[in-house]
Amino acid sequence: MKKNIGIFSTKQGHQSIAEAIKEKIEKEAGDRYQVHIYYTKQPFSLIYKSIYRLAPKAFDRPYEFSVNMIKNHAELNKLVSVFFLKSTYQSCIRFIKEKNIDVVINTFFYFQPALEKIKQKKNIPYINAIANPRTIHPFELSPKAEINLFFDKENLTKYQKKCLAKAAGWFVGERFEREYRKEEIKKKLKIKTAINFLIVSGSEGSTAVLKILPALINCQKPLQVFVACGHNKTLYNNVLGIQKSLAAFSQSKAIITPLKFTKKIHLYMQAADLIIGKAGPNTLFESVATVTPFFAITHLAQEEGNLEIIQEYQLGYVEEKVKAANKKILDIINQPQQLEKFHKHLLNLKAYNQQSAQILIKKIDQIFKNKLKNK
């Protein structure tokens, strides 16, 4: 009989990693394990979405404040943990009972206190997959988890005294990792231009990506630009308006095409010569999986370390000043061969991330072996 594994997550920013973990376990060990995902909404998610779409940087100060709060105010830290516990404990218990869960994997810090208590009371072990590769909030660490999975070794020295820790790479969906022929994908998507860019704005569609459109519109070479708008209807309609204006009144050689949320975004990444956008971890590593250079033009406070990763691993460019970003983009359009220098580095990191499934499954296997020994 298959053992049941439960993943606890949220669809706001964490759905990609939760689904990738599920997919990898069932592909590599589907004869032994069945995986179920439980999603919860982030606290105040409606307010978060509304502000994020218009002014994502507005969350930087609250994030920094919360980090300092946790470090310097133990009592306040306990109060927040109690709030998380009371908000999630009963729903976690119900899901675990309903699905007969044997092992838990967590990708969202909101569940941490509840899962730690469940481990203590019900003896259900859990694995903590940290959903930020470098800039890690104190709430994301779990001293009571069987293991905390980090992206790379950069944070191990810093955190391994606080919790059991291991570097495991990043979990990316198989559709991004599969081999492909770029020209075949471009033909499938009916892309006829030699140069093709994809602008990504995050799952909620930040309008911050609009700041680099003028440079693309004014370029002197034929250029296809897809703008992935996620679930943001306002952003989609804005880009659609730009598309119609260009078709009617402009001599621009750029073709600007808005994309609604699509499960086929991997095809547009595969077809792209460059991916431009917010330096969110899932988008960044999905770009790596498709071996496509990434140009970060904006980020949130918790994504600060992702800029370091882009530069350290040589995955692409970082430039958040509008004038300088536009200048660099025009330079890339005029000399696209410069993108080739990132190819081998992208391949190396892709291979590193692909080992994540084996590392995770090895740990799950070990947990079940230990359970048998202790019976």
Three-class secondary structure of residue 316 per DSSP:
strand
- Residue 255 CB partners (closer than 8 Å, separation 6+): 193, 222, 223, 224, 225, 246
| CATH 3.40.50.880 for the 176-352 domain, yes or no | no
Nearest CA among 233, 181, 175, 184 for reference residue 204 = 233
Three-class secondary structure of residue 147 per DSSP:
strand
- Residue 181 CB partners (closer than 8 Å, separation 6+): none
> According to CATH, where is 3.40.50.2000 located in the chain?
3-169+355-373, 176-352
Q: What are the average pLDDT values for consecutive 10-residue runs of the chain, which has 375 residues?
A: 95 92 94 96 51 48 62 73 92 97 96 96 96 90 95 87 93 96 95 93 64 83 92 88 82 89 95 95 97 93 92 97 92 96 98 97 94 73
Q: How far apart are CA 158 and CA 150, in angstroms?
A: 11
Q: Tokens for 157? A: 């020295």
Q: Tokens for 214? A: 């003028």
* Phi-psi category of residue 132: left, alpha or beta, with phi > 0 → left and psi -120 to 50 → alpha: beta
Q: Please report the DSSP string for 325-336 in residue order.
A: HHHHHHHHHH-G
Count CB atoms within 10 A of the CB of residue 112: 24
Three-class secondary structure of residue 284 per DSSP:
helix
Q: If residue 41 lies in a helix (H) or strand (E), which one and from where to where?
A: none
Q: How far apart are CA 293 and CA 249, in angstroms?
A: 32
State the helix-helix crossing angle for 15-29 and 356-373, rounded to 10 degrees: 70
Q: What is the pLDDT of residues 319-364, one digit of tens each?
A: 999 899 999 999 999 999 999 999 999 999 999 999 999 999 999 9
What CATH number does the domain located at 3-169+355-373 have? 3.40.50.2000
Q: What is the pLDDT of residues 48-57, one digit of tens each?
A: 444 444 445 5
pLDDT of residue 48: 45
CA-angle at 201, arms to 197 and 205, nearest 5°: 135
Nearest CA among 128, 180, 178 for reference residue 27 = 178
Three-class secondary structure of residue 244 per DSSP:
helix
